[in-house]
């Protein structure tokens, strides 16, 4: 009898096999030509997609939001959000302002549905945008879907890939918020980054004013806030994807990565307003600014980048309210420093999970780029025995991961489309681990031997170019951390 974990691993191995097969076809060009034709045919067939409406209602201490989209032969989509909020607090809210935030949340939710056919026209029937707003949203759609366009071989430019049309009268009146705002809303993803933010912000006396924010809770996110002592100070939000979109994906319509962090930005802003929080303290690091494809700005983490953060802050100030401030608390730091800080909190070692493949089962799959990346970074600070306790295996002994390693360390390959750090700091972490093993006269695992044999030039350059100072003393001055929090970081 197989358990759930065995079945999941079997499925993952087969997925990886077919991924490699498709990647081979993709490189040879036939797959690319097919997807490009498919993209153009879909746009000719499905010329318009509609953002029809949005509605919200208060039901039993919950705010329920339903968006209505349509397209693709009249198929309707009704994604839903549910946010807990007391009736007393809900009744205090400015409904005009609430209306504006929810409409904008719908605009970023649309992306997941529009991308199935990339219809050349997006009709907004329930509100309106001025030309500056249209330009802002086109930039987000274009850059946020950079990975989607790249992996589907879609050749478009920012000016003509979509025409946003509005059918309602424009209302640019700003609301003046009378609420008092204080404390931080802290989005929790269940990984090491949000742990560092939680623990660092907890050093302040006003910890009791902070609130954790989780979208679709899972084991790692719940356990993280529990360990941090935030069980009674957490908002768990439900986001439901319409099953009609899943059906379209199964039928072969276009599919791929969407900028989830942009959805998080607008949904956390809405939640911060509902709970009167002054700050939204993200855990996006400076390393998120690096592109995945050499020589381009195609970035899996675009909506985690400082560019999007600045754009979002500007948009909020112009069209919503800057009484709620959105910023990343970890922006000055690189991933290397964040991992170093995380390793000072061993109480989270068996709770945190960053693997997307194993997220539903709340485990590390140990065969994907994210698992290998986290393993490498932690290895710079933890022993192999401790890593084995966390992951249940020595990933450095799995030579089958060499192709993934290539993408993580070499500029000759695209960086895996995952939330991983820069190639420079990954190489530096490997350098540290290899040196430690040599100093302790321990045997070098097969994957590290592969690295030494194939990337000796990178290894040697770490010493020649004084990479140590670049990595360990890194601090990015381009950040939006409020003055009252800067001394912490």
Handedness of CA 249, 408, 308, 101 (dihedral sign): positive
Q: Are 361 and 8 in contact (CB under 8 A)?
A: yes
Give dist(CA 282, CA 184) in Å, integer: 10
pLDDT per residue over 264-318, tens digit each? 999 999 999 999 999 999 999 999 999 999 888 899 999 999 999 999 999 999 9
**Other C-beta atoms within 10 Å of 477: how many?**
7
Given its phi and psi angles, is residue 229 left (phi above 0), alpha (psi -120 to 50 degrees) or beta?
Answer: left
Q: How much is the pLDDT for 28?
A: 39
Q: How much is the pLDDT for 10?
A: 38
Region of poorest pLDDT, from 261-265, 288-292, 340-344: 288-292
| Residue 270 Cα distances to 83, 93, 217, 245, 263, angstroms | 9, 11, 18, 25, 11
Q: Is the pLDDT of residue 189 over 60?
A: yes
Q: pLDDT grade, residue 20 (50/70/90)?
A: very low
Give dist(CA 271, CA 204) in Å, integer: 22
CA angle 130, 136, 140 (to 5 degrees): 145
Compute the average pLDDT of residues 343-351: 97
Q: pLDDT grade, residue 462 (50/70/90)?
A: confident
Q: How much is the pLDDT for 478?
A: 95
Structure token pair of residue 359: 């997220």
Q: Are strands 325-328 and 211-215 parallel, antiparallel or unpaired?
A: unpaired
Q: Is the pLDDT of residue 27 over 70?
A: no
Q: How much is the pLDDT for 488?
A: 86
Supply φ then ψ for residue 469, to 5 degrees.
-65, -40
Closest CA to 398 of 456, 445, 363: 445
Q: Is the pLDDT of residue 360 over 60?
A: yes
What residues does each domain of the chain span?
20-176+236-328, 355-472
Q: Are 89 and 81 in contact (CB under 8 A)?
A: no
Percent of the chain with pLDDT over 70: 91
């Amino acid at each position: 009898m197989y358990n759930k974990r065995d079945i999941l691993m079997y499925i993952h191995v087969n997925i990886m096999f077919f991924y490699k097969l498709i990647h081979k076809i993709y490189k040879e060009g036939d797959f690319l030509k097919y997807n490009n034709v498919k993209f153009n045919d879909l746009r000719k067939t499905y010329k318009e997609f509609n953002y029809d409406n949005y509605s919200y209602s208060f039901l039993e201490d919950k705010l329920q939001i339903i968006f209505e989209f349509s397209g693709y032969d009249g198929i309707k989509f009704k994604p839903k959000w549910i946010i807990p909020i007391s009736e007393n607090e809900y009744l205090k809210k400015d409904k005009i302002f609430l209306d504006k935030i929810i409409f904008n949340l719908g605009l970023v939710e649309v992306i997941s549905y529009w991308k199935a056919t990339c219809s050349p026209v997006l009709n907004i029937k329930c509100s309106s945008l001025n030309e500056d707003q249209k330009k802002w949203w086109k930039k987000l759609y274009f850059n946020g879907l950079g990975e989607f366009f790249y992996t589907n071989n879609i050749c478009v430019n920012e000016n003509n890939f979509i025409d946003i049309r509005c059918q309602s009268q424009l209302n640019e009146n700003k609301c003046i918020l009378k609420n008092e705002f204080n404390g931080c809303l802290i989005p929790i993803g269940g990984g090491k980054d949000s742990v560092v933010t939680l623990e660092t912000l907890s050093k302040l006396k006003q910890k009791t004013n902070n609130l954790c924010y989780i979208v679709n809770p899972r084991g790692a996110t719940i356990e993280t806030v529990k360990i941090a002592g935030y069980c009674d100070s957490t908002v768990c939000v439900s986001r439901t994807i319409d099953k009609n979109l899943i059906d379209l994906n199964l039928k072969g319509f276009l599919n791929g990565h969407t900028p989830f962090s942009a959805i998080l930005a607008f949904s956390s802003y809405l939640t911060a307003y509902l709970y009167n929080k002054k700050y939204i303290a993200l855990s996006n690091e400076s390393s998120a600014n690096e592109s995945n494809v050499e020589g381009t700005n195609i970035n899996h983490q675009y909506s985690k980048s400082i560019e999007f953060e600045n754009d979002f802050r500007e948009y909020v100030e112009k069209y919503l309210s800057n009484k709620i401030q959105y910023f990343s608390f970890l922006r000055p730091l690189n991933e290397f420093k964040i991992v170093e800080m995380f390793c000072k909190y061993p109480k989270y070692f068996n709770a945190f999970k960053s693997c997307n493949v194993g997220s539903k089962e709340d485990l590390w799959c140990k065969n994907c780029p994210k698992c290998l990346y986290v393993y490498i970074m932690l290895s710079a600070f933890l022993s192999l025995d401790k890593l084995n306790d966390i992951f249940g295996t020595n990933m450095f002994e799995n030579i089958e991961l060499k192709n993934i390693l290539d993408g993580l360390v070499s500029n000759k390959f695209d960086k895996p489309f995952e939330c991983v750090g820069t190639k420079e700091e990954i190489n530096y972490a490997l350098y540290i681990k290899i040196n430690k093993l040599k100093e302790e006269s321990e045997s070098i695992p097969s994957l590290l031997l592969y690295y030494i044999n194939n990337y000796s030039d990178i290894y040697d350059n770490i010493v020649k170019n004084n990479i140590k100072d670049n990595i360990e003393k890194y601090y990015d001055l381009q950040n939006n951390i409020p003055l009252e929090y800067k001394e912490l970081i």
